[in-house]
Amino acid sequence: MPSSIALLITGAGTGLLAGGASCAAVQGGLLAGAVTRRRTPETPTKSAAKPAAKAGGSAPRADTPLAPVGAFLVGKLLSHTVFGALLGVFGKALQPSPRTQAVLMLVAAAFMVLFALDLIGVKAAGRLVPRPPASFGRLMRRSARTDTVATPALVGFATVLVPCGVTLSMELLAITSGSAVAGAAVMAGFVLGTAPLFAVLGYLFRRSSRALSGKLAGLTGVVVLAVAGWTMMSALQAGGWVTFDAPQRQAAATGPFIVEGGDGSGSGGGGAEPGSVTPVRTDVSGRQIVTLTVTDFYTPTQFTAKAGVPTTLVLHGKDSGGCARAFTIPELDVQEIVKRDGDTEIDLGTRKPGTLRFSCAMGMQTGAIEFKKDL
């Protein structure tokens, strides 16, 4: 299960880079309609302002657009956070395997590609994009034209029913989180990420010419395509199918080393310093021990171990944090939350020659154990 902080950051980053403009293309008209409706009729004339001043009160002022924009975003944040928590609970009930989660990420990336191509103007992609019923869209637009103070907040709350393409991908990510807190975190982060751009872009989509709106949509489509590519790469790594890390950049450990006592301390055949953790060793019982140190990263990321002998993988938490704590071995359906400080043991059995890949649950950090028959 990915950490809630990592998912909050992922959601906020996606919202900031891609979500603001793409959601404004779908929902910006609703926001602009509510803001415009509340500010134009209430501008007082000079003659109307004087009686108010004589009566000892202050002259009425035109409503600032910031108030309805803020109400809209608060309503949107509330609905998306609650919905994210529900999706996380749903994902926990399903308990998807690492590779199932990776497939869901690939589906999310595919949706993002469709929406990106639609924004760029590819008509064939536009016909495949899921959209809310036209009647629901008309109802939302009529609601946005009312004058009540709560209208922007209610419209913002209802936008969870009118998702943009990037929102759908975040909802799938909330399902894969398998936790109410983590699901709420990714959706809340997404809305917070869209907040700085949403009001400005919504205003531009409402006030600018069609030509400028088209350019903004096209630029957004390019950004969404880039995010989709990153999501696909992460999914492929999270599924254990490929790795995009250059081998020469990965820290490597070769074994087995013989360590008397089998406690992982002292120096072994690899020349480890006294008191250090030996990455690959064999204890006195003949069991091979592979130790992966987990901080905010994995060290080493490449191991060479002996095939045909019982093997235990030890996850050595050393002030571990972030996505690295959500450790997975997709081929074995292994999912473990690494202790912040301490060891977690995973029995790998007796491995045949070949490569066993591991990664964090989001596919951002990867590594592999290469089992060889002759060492």
Domain boundaries, the chain: 4-238, 247-372
Amino acid 312: pLDDT: 97
Amino acid 199: pLDDT: 65
Predicted confidence pLDDT, tens digits, the chain (375 residues): 456 777 788 778 877 776 666 666 556 555 555 554 444 444 444 444 445 444 454 444 444 546 667 777 888 899 999 999 999 898 878 777 888 888 877 887 787 788 778 778 888 877 776 665 666 556 555 555 555 556 777 777 877 776 666 776 678 778 877 789 988 998 999 889 888 876 675 555 445 545 555 566 677 678 778 777 887 888 899 899 988 876 544 556 666 655 545 444 443 444 444 445 789 999 999 999 999 999 989 999 999 999 999 999 999 999 987 778 889 999 999 988 888 899 999 999 999 999 999 998 778 889 999 999 887
Contact 68, 40 (CB under 8 A): no
Architecture of the domain made up of 247-372: Sandwich (2.60)
- Of 284, 309, 298, nearest to 368 (Cα)? 298
Amino acid 40: pLDDT: 42
CA distance 24 to 33: 13
